[in-house]
Structure 1
Amino acid sequence: MKYNSTARSRSSRPDIRKSFRSVSKKTSAAPKTPGPAGGQVTRREKSAVVRLLAGRGHRLDQLLRIAGLARSTYFYHLSHPERVTRADLEPLVGEIWGRTPNGCGHRQVRMCLVHEFGQRVSAKSVLRVMRRMGLRCAIRSRNPWKRYDSYRGETGDHVHNLLKRDFGAARPFSKLGTDVTEFKVAGGKAYLAPVYDMASKEIVAWDVSRSPDLGQQKRLLAMLAERLPAGAEPILHSD
């Protein structure tokens, strides 16, 4: 019987380890969890709430289990209070930021602190102070490392889609289509701009150029105007 009890105790050790690991995983919560109003509750904030409730007579172990905090994490936050970064700079930062109607960024604020007030401070420290004060520049410059984008929104006149993907035509010079195609040739590239008649299936005008500029389109339209029959009012479609 003694041997059996020893074997039973040894066989139960893996279960104890598994339960200990599961409890450890439950207590090691994420650094931030969703709050009741959709915000983020940090471990430091949880520790402050646990300390407040523990001072009112509640058991500490139950509070830590409900909050999902490890005991070591709780006592670490008690022994290491949060330090406020450069609180002495808040009046100067507020004065510099308020000089312009839309405020200014943390780099400009840091430059003024260094050269005007003789403060030794890094840009990250100024950024922390501005975030704590709720100061943010309303004008943001473009990122110089961002890929170039030529799109500038809706500019010029808006042309409606008259064809609505109906590319069939009953008579010539009623519906025309145009586009620019790039070809690789010896010594560079060439660009072909044709005008396609959707009724006769013919190329009624064209132009070849080294660059797809406005001059090519002007030459193409001039050639098309010479070949248009009298009384024709075509729809020129382009993507």
Structure 2
Amino acid sequence: MTVGNLNRTLFTEDIIRRLEKNPNVQRVSETNISYTAEFKLAAVKAYNEGTPPSEIFLRAGFDLEIIGSKKPKHSLKRWRDCYAKYGETGLLEERRGKGSAGRKPAGVLSADEELKRAKAKIKLLEAEVGLSKKARSARTEKRKTLTPSERYEIIYHTLRAHGLSRMTRYLCGVAAVSTSGYYRWLGSEQKRQLRTADDERDLVLIKQHFDALHGKAGALVIKMRLEHLSGVTMNHKKIRRLMRKFNLVAAIRQANPYRKMAKATQEHQTCANLLKRQFDQKEPEKVFLTDITYLRYGNGQWAYLSCIKDGATRQILADCVAGTLELPLVEKTIRRLLERLDGSIHPEAIFHSDQGMHYTHPKTRLQIQRAGFQQSMSRKGNCWDNASMESFFGHMKDEMNVRDCQTLTEVRARVSDYIAYYNSERYQWTLKKMTPDEFRSHLLVS
């Protein structure tokens, strides 16, 4: 494959290698083929005997689509002029720079050619500076390197902005990309335009769901929403690619592990850890996970949220928001859970929490025991033993904002709305792409 550039034909690396295998070729550059003296002489004699130029080159193993259909005629004219003036010696000896019809050798330059080369060198230096600036400006904070396509585009615009010729290979070397790759990139412009059009259409769908969740949705959440709400199936890898391409960055929380994680393995329990991180036991309302989190709102005020979560369905079954961390916060949450269960308690139900004072308090332990639950606690200082509950709080704080609330009543309403959304509208990848409410129905039917 060759790529047209102004009035010249540029040869790719692959074509250069193919041409070099022809025994009639002496050497090949990006824009020029040098033929052997023997072939030139034989070609002139064959032409004088009546063979057309194109036929001579075809018999010699040249593909006219590669070298150009006009190449045989132009070459034969130059060789015939040299043969008429100097005879066979003119073709068998190198006559470049000696007044022949051929071109001058690279080492012998006229004053005009030297001036042109000096100007080309200045343009090349300008192109290097331009390439470096474009490379720096194209980097993003998270991605420090350019993709090959980005480098090819920079080379393309640099060559044309400075009017450079025969500098492609050099700029490809500076940009650390292959010359053949650059020419393949040039030849695929139409495909890139079609793909860009497709990407922009898909972006409209993705951005609808990204904006609906206030920029706090990742690729998997968007994929599930596309399937359930828009009836569109799109690969999550494609969604990630488009989010990167159009700079849709989901706001996510950063990991904040305990400083002294080594203590997480020490056994210091008020109650036995019956659960042992087996949060999902495939039965609704068998495993109950609970914890308390802090919510800051208004002018530096604090609210405290107590929740109880179903380990299998991940539904939030009960919650309570209070302005203090007193014991009634947890007691009220447990009462709300019992009201929801309405006496239907699983015979092997487990109530799991950390070793906070609310759950180790004798009053709370008695309430849990009377309800018919087996009480289980995480090991001391080990957040992983209640990871499912911690995960919910993390997602909630990513997706819900209460900073603008001015009263505790507003915070309660905001939390209530979020939990309703979480249970019935928020699709989860590991729940077979269902919402918690849908997954509960799925478990009960199966």
TM-score normalized with structure 1 length? 0.40
Specify which structure has the higher proportion of helix. 2
TM-score normalized with structure 2 length? 0.23
